[in-house]
Structures are given as structure tokens and as C-alpha cells.
Chains A and B, each alone.
Chain A
Amino acid sequence: MTAAEVEQLLRDGRLRATQPDPETALVELESARTHISSAEKIVADDPEAAFALLYDAMRKAVVAHMRANGYRVTRGADHVKTGEYGRAALDHLDIDWHLDEFELLRQMRNQSEYEALRIDDDEVREAFEHATAVVDAVARDLAGAS
């Protein structure tokens, strides 16, 4: 974890410190894994819904890491701040490329809700890679910390 960058987010009022809660973090991480397996089941029939689940899996994994380490985002723009935490706190996990895509996935998911974007097969495939990489990396990190 880049402590300095997380500290900066705290100073900027993007995060606030809370009591670390590793137990709830594991439940959240499990929920993220379930989202990935659910996405696999529905992707052929409903790629937009699968994409939304994969984005949520990625987000929940980052939130789980935050919770286990005693942080929460402050009110407003929650998902954007979650992405900022991910880039600041998880850069030692060698998943930069996947975290960089977090904001893109968030925007694409929003846009698909307006029916202004059809998610294609390549985009769903990439979302599977991002979600799996982030969930696995967070799981390894939390297991190592416990």
C-alpha cells in the first residue's frame, strides 16, 4: 500500500478512517466472487447485465480492502473515490492496468443504463479479466495480512 497516497486522500476529504473490519471485508469479497460466477452464467443472454455484475465485483473487492484496512469513502461520488483508493492502496499488487480500467468500466456501466451503449463481447471479456484480477489480488493481500 502506498501509505502517502492514502494519507493524501484522507487529507483531501476523499476518505475517512474507521475501525478495521476484516470479517465484513471477507463477506464482501465472497459477494464479489459470486458476482463473477453469476456473470459467467448470464453473459450469453444478457451481456450488459454481466458487465454490470463484473464492474460491481471489482468495486466490492476494492471496498473490501478498504474496510479491512479501516477506511471508507466520504459522501458523494462514492464509486469514483473507490477507484481512487484502489489506485492508491493496491499498486503493490501489480494490478495497475486493471485498476486503471475501473473508471472506464464505471462510465460504460452508467452509459449502458441509458441504453446508449451496447456492450460487445470483447468488452465483457476484458471486464472478466479485470474483475478476476482485482478480486484475486485483494484476496491474496487480505489473506497475507491476516
Chain B
Amino acid sequence: MDTNTRFAVQDLYSDYVRCVDDTKYEEWPDFFTDECIYRIVSRENYDAGLQMSALALEGKAMLKDRVYAMNETMIHAPYLQRHVVGIPKIHSADDGVIRAEANYVVLRTKLDAFSEVFNTGRYLDTIVNEDGRLKFKERICVFDSELVPNSIVYPI
């Protein structure tokens, strides 16, 4: 594994976290290719080979629809997120396709409340280079958490 690839993946991960934690959701779809997959799925379903996710978006257009919904139409108590992402494990980087994964913890802070662990699991990623920038062709957030604490609105 060449060092540049390793740093590039780490930069992608930290840029993604900056974007989401800074609530710049309009920029979130740009981390993905046009024909991407983005899923938030329980470990229970994932390990059992069940197809159902908590959220399963196919293509950047669906991600944009989600951003519109989270900003304009979904009714929810406000909250902030703080992602802590572990050092990525890069499984392979062949023919311009990088397969990587990393553990994550998302802390949620609601108004008038203490920060709490909201969701924890791992990212399973397929990353490609598009016009000189690394993008997610696939990002599957497989969460360990048995119960979602009420609801998931924003991207993990």
C-alpha cells in the first residue's frame, strides 16, 4: 500500500466528518459518485444477509432528496453530531478502486441534554478517483447499536 493512498483515504474520511459534523449537508452528496450506494444498516440485518436498511440510497440524486428532506420537510428535535472515526483499514487498492473500512462512533447532542452515544459501527467503503478527487462509490454504515435512539435524520 503506498503512503499517498493511505493519506488520501484518511483525508477523505476527515473531510467527510468535517462536512457532516459542521452540518454542511448540501456538500454531503459531493463525497459520492453519481451511481453511488449509501446505506445505514443494522449489523443484525447485515450479518444475516437481509437486504433491509434503515436508509438505503442509490445514486447522488437520492442523496440530494435526503438533504432536501432533512433540511426542509422532516420534523424532529434539533441535534448535533460528532463523529469519531478510527484509522482506516485499507483492504485493497487495485485498478483505481480502494476498499477500506473504519470504525466509527457518533455522539449526539440534543438541546438541554448531555451528549450521548448515538450510533456506533463501521464504515465499509468502496472508493474511486473521480476527476482527481477520491469519492465514495459505496459507503455502508453497519451499526452495532441494537436500538436506534428514536430516529436518524442526518447522515452517519
Determine if chain A interacts with chain B: no
Mark B residues whose CB is within 8 Å of A: none
